[in-house]
Amino acid sequence: MKKSIYFFLILFIVFSTQGKSQELKLDDILTKYFNTIGIEKMKEWQTIITIGKANSQGTEYPCRIIMKRPGKIRIEVEIQSMKMIQAFDGQHGWMIMPWSGSTDPQDMTNDETKIIKDQADFEGSLYNWQEKGHKAELIGKEDVDGSPAYNIKVTKANGDIENYFIDAENFVILKVTSNIKIQGNESEGESLSGNYKEVNGVLLPFTIENKSKGQTVSHFIVDKYEINTEINDSIFIKPVKK
């Protein structure tokens, strides 16, 4: 009897050890994620234009996000026949906020520039995180709307924190939470991505839900992505006042 108990105990230890050894490490998860979305194909892209609409409190706002390597971005949102513009030329951030009473371009604050500069990163914080000066660590598995997901915490070089929740089965990003310092205060946000489709060999989300403190702030629906369209650098540069 003792031999039988000993035998089954050994089997339990062996299978338990095998199960643990099969748990994916951080590098394994990231490799699967990059392969799934087609990161090598994305690296061939020089420009990407995202065209869609944001729905907030029952009102739709046409949006266009224009990105160009290296590190340039322009965001346009039409609100009540007026166009809000936020842009980063690779060095400086600026914006036009018509409802503020002026259509003149204004320089962004350091915190605003920090945020839009991060948005201009084609591949995102997870790709080459060491070279970008970030720290990445695998926290473990968590449930995201019924799907098990790997929680990867990224502490960025600027001190901001992002948590990426990668689907444990399909290896796409389901959710990103962020903790960003703005004017000395911490601002928390949450973004949920879905409806992934292949675009020029890359999996991209066509729906994005943005939340703050658990409440939905907006839904962004992508109508289409335009890849490698010719874009003049001048649209990213702050206009000179006339």
Q: Give 1 or 230, the one with higher predicted confidence.
A: 230
What digits encode the pLDDT tens for the residues 132-152? 999 999 999 999 999 999 999
- Rounded distance between C-alpha atoms, residue 72 and residue 236, angstroms: 7
- Torsion angles phi and psi, residue 201, rounded to 5: 85, 5
Give the pLDDT of residue 21: 38
Report DSSP state, residue 203. Answer: E
Q: Which residue has the tokens 């000993």?
A: 6
Return the C-alpha torsion angle 86, 88, 92, 96, nearest 10. -20
Q: Is the pLDDT of residue 19 over 60?
A: no
Amino acid at position 47, single letter: T
Give the pLDDT of residue 22: 52
- Whether the link from the prior residue into 70 is cis, omega within 30° of 0, is yes
Q: Which residue has the tokens 């999996």?
A: 203
Q: Is the pLDDT of residue 99 over 70?
A: yes
**Mean pLDDT throughout 189-202?**
95
Tokens at 146, concatenated:
């019924």
Q: Is the pLDDT of residue 1 over 80?
A: no
Q: 171-202 burial, b for 16+ CB within 10 Å, e for fewer?
A: bbbbbbbbebeeeeeeeeebbbbeebeebeeb
Give the pLDDT of residue 13: 47
Domain ranges, ordered by start, for the chain: 24-236
Average pLDDT over the chain reads 89
Q: Is the pLDDT of residue 103 over 60?
A: yes
Give the pLDDT of residue 57: 82
When mean pLDDT is compared across 20-29, 36-45, 161-170, 203-212, the lowest value belongs to: 20-29
Q: What is the CATH number of domain 24-236?
A: 2.50.20.10
The whole-model pTM stands at: 0.86
- Rounded distance between C-alpha atoms, residue 178 and residue 196, angstroms: 21
Q: Is the pLDDT of residue 168 over 50?
A: yes
